Each structure stands twice: as C-alpha cells, then as structure tokens.
C-alpha cells in the first residue's frame, strides 16, 4: 500500500475510534510526510486566541508542559523564547504575516515557515488555536469547556505535517473546574498523537 494511502487509512481508523468513544481525537489529519517526519526540536508559537485573549499564556504553558512530559524532543523552544526572538520588528512582522495567511487560507506559507524555523532554530513549529475557553450554560447545566486546535509545521520544508482538534467539557454544580486543568488534559491527549 502506498504510504500516503496508509496514512489516510490510519487517520480514518483513529477518527472512527474517537467517534466510537474509545479514545483518540475528535479530528485529526496527517500529511503524506508525517510518518517520516522526526523532528528533534520544536518551537511553540504563541497561540491564536480570538476572543479568549486571557487564555494565550495558559494554553502555551500547558502545551510546553505536555511536550516536555512526552520526552520526544531534544529541545523545546518555549513561548518566552519565541517572544524574545520576535521582539525584533522584522521577525515580528514575519510571524504576524504568517499567522494572517494561515488564518485566511488554512495553509502554511512555506517560505515564511522556513524563515520562522531558522529564526527559532527549530525543526518543527507547533501552532495552537484556542477555539473555546469558557464557562457556559447549556440546557440548564453549568459547563466548563476548553477546545484546542493544533497544527504541526515542518520548520525546514515549511509544509503542514499534521493537525488535530480536541475538546473537553466538564459539568459542575457550584465549584467551577479550573480551565487550565481541562486544557492540560486536552494538551496531554493531543501531543501523544504528534508525529514522531
């Protein structure tokens, strides 16, 4: 079987497993080169947060922690170091343009991604999006909800290698669950599916 077809079959099986309630991610896609992508270093870019601005640092922190616990990378470039690199205007402009293009097209701009990989000295870039980070009510229930989307980009070639989405919801009566705790569960569950 062709490697690309094998990856598609694996991704479909994982999605079916998730829908059947046996674990896995809610959504996952692996590109044709995912099975041969073995980065030694990864940079966690500041998450895209939309209306959940207060979640940016927390989401980034839980991802760095989950990656460190996975122990699959020789080097993890945390958000603080990423921010230091992008304080320089030219580098900051590249990151802003990269985010804008990613949001508009859903694709990684190869040239900009390679530049980011070089600036951060990272084989892979992890781009997170906070889809939901809130307390809400639904059908009379109090709910705490966190949803993250992750995209893994090849820092040397610039292409999108893998992407996934996961959500966790917890109902409560009086004491609100800590959204960071939910985010930790989501991040831990997601990073174990990262290509290695």
Q: Distance (Å, rounded) from C-alpha 103 to C-alpha 107?
A: 8
User: 41: which 2 tokens?
Assistant: 């270093």
The verdict on residue 47 lying in a domain is yes
Domain count, the chain: 1
Answer yes or no: is 15 within a domain.
no
DSSP H helical ranges for 86-191: 89-105, 110-120, 179-191
Is position 196 within any domain? Answer: no
Q: Which domain holds residue 88?
A: 31-191
Q: Per the domain annotation, does 20 fall within a domain?
A: no
pTM (2 d.p.): 0.84
How does pLDDT run along the chain (196 residues), one tens digit per residue?
555 444 443 443 334 333 333 357 889 999 988 999 999 999 999 999 999 999 999 999 999 999 999 999 999 998 889 999 999 988 899 999 999 999 999 899 999 999 999 999 999 999 999 999 999 999 999 999 999 999 999 999 999 999 999 999 999 998 999 999 999 999 999 999 998 7
């Amino acid at each position: 079987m062709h490697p690309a077809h094998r990856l598609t079959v694996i991704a479909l099986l994982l999605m079916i497993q998730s829908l059947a309630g046996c674990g896995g991610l809610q959504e996952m896609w692996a590109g044709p080169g995912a099975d041969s992508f073995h980065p030694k270093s990864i940079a966690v870019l500041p998450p895209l947060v939309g209306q959940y601005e207060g979640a940016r640092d927390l989401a980034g922190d839980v991802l760095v922690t989950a990656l460190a616990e996975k122990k699959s990378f020789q080097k993890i470039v945390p958000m603080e170091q990423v921010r230091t690199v992008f304080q320089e205007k030219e580098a900051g402009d590249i990151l802003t343009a990269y985010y804008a293009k990613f949001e508009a097209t859903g694709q990684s701009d190869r040239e900009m991604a390679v530049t980011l990989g070089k600036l951060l000295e990272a084989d892979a870039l992890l781009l997170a999006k906070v889809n939901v980070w809130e307390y809400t009510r639904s059908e009379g229930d109090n709910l705490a909800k966190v949803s993250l989307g992750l995209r893994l980009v090849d820092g040397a070639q610039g292409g999108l290698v893998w992407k996934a989405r996961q959500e966790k919801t917890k109902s409560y009566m009086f004491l609100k669950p800590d959204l960071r705790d939910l985010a930790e569960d989501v991040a831990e569950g997601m990073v174990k599916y990262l290509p290695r």
